[in-house]
Structure 1
Amino acid sequence: MSDQEGSVSTEVSGISEVKEWLSKTFEVAGKPVPEFEYTPRSVSHLHHLVTLSKAKDEAARLVARDFRLKAAEYRSQAARIREILENVGLAQESLPSNVVASAQVLANVSNLLNIRDTELSSFLVAMGDISLRKTGVEEKRAKVHKESKFLLDYTRKAIARLTYLKRTLAQLEDEVAPCEAQMESWSNYLKVMAQKERQYVQQCANYETRLNRVGYTPEISHRVLVDMAEHRKELERQTKPILDTLRSYQDLPPDKALAALAIEDKKRQYAAAEKRLEDVLQAALLNEG
C-alpha cells in the first residue's frame, strides 16, 4: 500500500508541476492554456518537456550571466583605456578622422578575424588560419572539380550510350516485320519437319514389324550375310562335282542294284555336305555374336 500511495503522490506532484509550467509558458506567450486530458502518457511527455525546458533555461541564464560579466569587464576595460588615452592626449575627439577611421577598420578586421586583441601576433595567427582554410578550400575545390569532370565525362558517355540504344531500338523496330515473316516461314517449315518426322517414325515402326515377321535378329548383319554368301559359294563349288557325277549316271544303262548303291552313296555325300554347310553357318553366327 505504501508503494502505491507513493506512486500516486508522485503522479499528482508531476501533474501539478506540469500545470504550473504550462500556465507560466502560455502566460508569457499571452495565450490561454489549451484544454486536454491529463493521462499518464501525456503527463510523462509533458514532464519530460518541463525537465528539458528548465535545464535549457538554466543554461541560458548561466550564459547570459557570463555575457553580462564579460560585457561589464569590456566596459570597464574600455573606460580605463579611454581614461589613459585622454590622459596622454589621445582622446577620440582629439584624433584626426583618418586615424579614427583606421582604428575602426582595425577593430572591424579584428572582429571579422575573431581575435581578442589587435596585436600583430594575433593577426598573423589569424591570417595563418585563414591561409590554412584557404588551402583546404582550394583542395576541396580541386576535388570537386575533378569529381565534376568525372561526372561530366560519365554523363557524356551515358548520353552517347543512350543515343546508341535508341538507334538500336529503332533499327530493331524496323527489322520486326521481316523477322516476323521469317519466323512465320520457319514455323511452317518446322510443321512440315514435324509431319515428316511422324511419317519416318511410322515407316521405321513398319520396317521393324516386317523384320520381326521375317525373323530378323540383331545378330544378322551385313558382314554375316556376306560370310554366309561366301560359304554358300564354297559349298556350291564343293558339291558341283557330285552333282556332275550324278548327272553322268543318268546316261548309264539302268541297273537297279548299282543305281541304288550309287544313289545311296550320293545321298550320304549330300547329307554330309548339308551338315557341313549348317556347321559352317552356325560357326559364322557364333563368331559374329
Structure 2
Amino acid sequence: MSDLISGADSRAAETKTGFDNARIAEVKSWLVSQFDAAGKDVPEFEYTPRSISHLHNLASISQANTQAAGIVASDLRQKAAEYRSQAARIREILEKAGLAQESLTSNGVALAQILANVANFLNIRDTELSSFLVAIGDIYLRKTAVEDKRAKVQKDSNVLLDYTRKAIARLTYLKRILAQLEDDVVACEAPMDNWKTNLAIMVAKERQYLQQYSNYQAVLNRVGYTPEISHGVLVEMAEHKQELETKTKPILDTLRSYQDLPPDKALAALAIEDKKRQFAAAEKYLEEVLHSALATTE
C-alpha cells in the first residue's frame, strides 16, 4: 500500500514538474520575443512559482491581445485595400467623364470638397436622391428633437427661476421675521421673568392647597362624613324640623295648660283622662308626621 502511495506521489510530482517547466518555457519565450522587439536583453531574475504564475498570466493576456490586434489589423488592411480599389474605380470613372481632379478649377475643387463634406456630414454613401432626402429628414427630426428638448429645458429653467424667486422672497421674509423676533426678545425678557416668578408662587400655592385639601379630607373621614351628607340635605332637614315644630306647638301649648287643673280630685281625674286622650292623639299624630318625614327624606 505504501508503495502505491509513494508511486502516486512521485507521478504527481513529475507531472507538476513537467507542467512548471512548460510554463517556464512559455514565459521565457514570451519575454524573449517582447524584449527582442524592444531591442533589449531579458534581465536576470529568480524563477519562483509566484513570479512564473504572474508572468504566465501576463503572457496569456498579451498573446490574446496581440491575436485580437492582429485580427483587427487584418480587417483594417482588407478594408483599406477595398477603399483603395473603390477610389481607383471612382477616379477612373471621373477621368472618363472629364471630371478628374487635375482638370477641375480651384472653384470646382472647393465645391467638390464642400460636397464631400456635406455628404460626410449627412452620412451619405451614394448619389441617390432618396438617400439625400432620408438624410435631410433625419436632420429635421433631430432638429425637432433638439427644439423640443430646448423648449423643455427652457420651461424647466423658467420653473426653477420662479422657485428661486419665491425662495429668495421667503428667505427675505424669514430674515425680517428673525430680526423682529430678536428685537422682541429684549422686550419679552422682563415679562418672562415675572411669569416665572408668578409660576413659582403658583406652584407653591398649589402644594399648600393640596396639603390643606388632604388635611380636610382626613378630618371629614375622621368625623364620618359621607357624600350623601350635603348642604342641600341639611337644609331640607332643617326646614322639615321647623315644620314639625310649627305643627307640634299647639300640642305643647295644650300640655302646658295641664298645669292649670282644678283642685277637685274628681274633676282633676276627668281632666287628666281628657288630657291623656289628647296627648295620645297628639303623640300618634307626631309619630305619623315623623314617619312620613323620614319616608320623604329616604
Q: TM-score, normalised by structure 1?
A: 0.73
Note if contact 1:110-1:116 (Cα within 8 Å) is conserved in structure 2.
Answer: yes
Q: Which moved more, 1:272-281 or 1:84-93?
A: 272-281
Which aligned pairs between 1:106-125 and structure 2 lie closer than 5 A?
106-125=115-134
Q: Are 1:167 and 2:173 counterparts?
A: no
In the other structure, the counterpart of 2:79 is: 70
Q: Are 1:247 and 2:256 counterparts?
A: yes
Equivalent residue letter for 1:130: I
In the other structure, the counterpart of 2:155 is: 146
CA deviations on 1:176-218 (whole Å, 9 max, x unpaired) are 2333333322222222222332333333344444444554332
In the other structure, the counterpart of 2:231 is: 222
- Residues 133, 250 of structure 1: alpha-carbon distance in 2 compared, 3 angstrom cutoff: same
- Residues 78, 246 of structure 1: alpha-carbon distance in 2 compared, 3 angstrom cutoff: closer
Q: Which moved more, 1:238-247 or 1:79-88?
A: 79-88
Instruction: Output the CA distance in 2 between the equivalents of 1:135 and 1:165.
Output: 44
Q: Residue 182 of structure 1: which of 191, 194, 203 is its match?
A: 191
CA deviations on 1:145-169 (whole Å, 9 max, x unpaired) are 1222222222222222222222222
Aligned-pair identity in percent equals: 59
Note if contact 1:113-1:126 (Cα within 8 Å) is conserved in structure 2.
Answer: yes
Q: Which moved more, 1:153-162 or 1:53-62?
A: 53-62
CA deviations on 1:231-259 (whole Å, 9 max, x unpaired) are 22232123212221232233445678948
Q: Which moved more, 1:244-253 or 1:159-168?
A: 244-253
Instruction: Output the CA distance in 2 between the equivalents of 1:93 and 1:24.
Output: 48
Note if contact 2:124-2:135 (Cα within 8 Å) is conserved in structure 1.
Answer: yes
Which aligned pairs between 1:1-289 and structure 2 lie closer than 5 A?
17=26, 43=53, 47=57, 53-87=62-96, 89-212=98-221, 214-252=223-261, 258=268, 261=272, 265=276, 279-280=291-292, 282-285=294-297, 287=298
SS in 2 for 1:115: coil
Unaligned runs of 5+ in 2: 1-7
Instruction: Output the CA distance in 2 between the equivalents of 1:15 and 1:254.
Output: 166
Instruction: Output the CA distance in 2 between the equivalents of 1:163 and 1:188.
Output: 37
Instruction: Output the CA distance in 2 between the equivalents of 1:248 and 1:51.
Output: 149
Instruction: Output the CA distance in 2 between the equivalents of 1:132 and 1:122.
Output: 15
Instruction: Output the CA distance in 1 between the equivalents of 2:45 and 2:72.
Output: 35
How many Å apart are 1:29 and its aligned residue?
Answer: 6.9
Higher relative contact order by CA 8 Å / sep ≥ 6: 1 or 2? 1
How many Å apart are 1:105 and its aligned residue?
Answer: 2.3
SS in 2 for 1:250: helix
Note if contact 1:26-1:33 (Cα within 8 Å) is conserved in structure 2.
Answer: no
How many Å apart are 1:44 and its aligned residue?
Answer: 7.0
SS in 2 for 1:105: helix
Unaligned runs of 5+ in 1: none
Equivalent residue letter for 1:283: A
Instruction: Output the CA distance in 2 between the equivalents of 1:156 and 1:143.
Output: 20
Instruction: Output the CA distance in 2 between the equivalents of 1:149 and 1:167.
Output: 27
Instruction: Output the CA distance in 2 between the equivalents of 1:264 and 1:27.
Output: 162
Note if contact 2:27-2:56 (Cα within 8 Å) is conserved in structure 1.
Answer: yes
Equivalent residue letter for 2:189: E
Q: Which moved more, 1:90-99 or 1:165-174?
A: 90-99
Instruction: Output the CA distance in 2 between the equivalents of 1:65 and 1:201.
Output: 104
